[in-house]
Amino acid sequence: MLELEGLVVVQGDFRLSASWSAAAGDRIAVIGPSGGGKSTLLMAIAGFLAAQAGRILWQGQDLGPVPPGKRPVSVLFQEQNLFPHLTVERNLALGLTTRAGLSEDERDRIARVLTRVGLEGMGPRRPAELSGGQIGRAALARALLRARPVLLLDEPFAALGPALRAEMVALVNEVADETGALVLMVTHDPVDARAMARTVFVEGGTAWPPQDTQNLFADPPPALRAYLG
């Protein structure tokens, strides 16, 4: 279980507070107006922003002193999800090991996840040779390899078209099914949000507790109504 205990994160003049919990394996959309604190919430969970007050716990363990790479978390950023100077295979391999030589088993696993996300045979390519959708798939493939129990997505598909985005969101769900990960996915689009069972609405420096997505959109509070237009 992921618990945000009276969490307060301060970034310059901006202040975000959150106090709620989410169960392992939950699928949660994070929506809200720009500048409301969606990314701040994810970056705090990922370990890039320190808490001013309160705690973040995973299965009862305080994540405060844990550096980003050691947290039970995989992140897909808005941009720069792959190292451009490395091949797709090597980018994925960094999810498993930093050794130079890959074992047969590791190569197999990488090839399998690439096939799984629809990038069969693209291991030797460099990110510059991939389309935006393919880059997202490669990043998801790495998350699949790392199999961390929490998957954070900070609008990695914002630049993709609706159909492609829907495809990617479906892929996220499949990946989460396979790894049993708790998903927190930032999005601007209510359509994407509806693909997730629950939704966190973030606005004016507050991340409200997750609610059932269908219920929330059926009867949105005034601020969400204003945001949805």
Partner 1 sequence: MARGPFPLGAAATAAGLALLTLGTLAVVAVRAGGFTPAAADWSAVRFTVLQAAVSAGLSVGLAIPVARALARRRFAGRGALIVLMGAPFLLPVVVAIIGLLAIFGRAGLVNQALTAAGLPPVSIFGFHGVILAHLFLNLPLAVRMLLQGWAAIPAERFRLAASLDFDPAATFRHLERPMLRAVAPGAAVVIFLVCLTSFAVVLTLGGGPAATNVELAIYQALRFEFDLGRAAGLAAVQFMLCAAAVALAGRLAIPTGFGAGLERVARVPAPGGWRRTGDAGAIGLAAAFLFAPLLAVLWRGAPGLLALPASVWSALARSLVVAVGATALSVTAALVLALAVAREAPGRRLFEVAAMLPMAASGLVLGTGLFLMVHPFARVEDLALSVTLVVNAVMSLPFVYRLLLPQARALQADYGQLAAALDLTGTARLRWLVLPRLAAPLGFGAGLAAAMSMGDLGVVALFAGESGATLPLVVSRLAAAYRTEAAAGAALVLTLAGFALFALCDRGGRWLAGT
Give the nearest distance from C-beta 98 to partner 1 in angstroms: 3
Chain-centre distance of CA 90, in angstroms?
21
Taking the least distance from each CB to partner 1, the nearer of 159 and 223 is: 159
Taking the least distance from each CB to partner 1, the nearer of 147 and 197 is: 147
User: Which residues are near partner 1 by CB under 8 A?
Assistant: 46-50, 67-70, 73-75, 77, 79-81, 83-86, 90, 94-95, 98, 100, 126-128
Give the nearest distance from C-beta 72 to partner 1 in angstroms: 12
CA distances from 211 to 27, 108, 145 (A): 11, 40, 30
Residues whose CB is less than 8 angstroms from the CB of residue 163 and which lie 6 or more positions away in sequence, other chains included: none
Identify the CA nearest to 204 among candidates 62, 82, 37, 71. 37
Q: Both ends of the chain: CA-CA distance in Å?
A: 33
Taking the least distance from each CB to partner 1, the nearer of 37 and 190 is: 37
CA distance 137 to 168: 7
Give the nearest distance from C-beta 110 to partner 1 in angstroms: 15
Task: Give the DSSP letter string of 35-79.
Answer: TSSHHHHHHHHHTSS--SEEEEEETTEE-TTS-GGGSSEEEE-SS
Taking the least distance from each CB to partner 1, the nearer of 20 and 48 is: 48
Give the nearest distance from C-beta 35 to partner 1 in angstroms: 18
Give the nearest distance from C-beta 99 to partner 1 in angstroms: 9
Taking the least distance from each CB to partner 1, the nearer of 68 and 161 is: 68
205 CB burial (10 A radius; 0-12, 13-18, 19+): middle
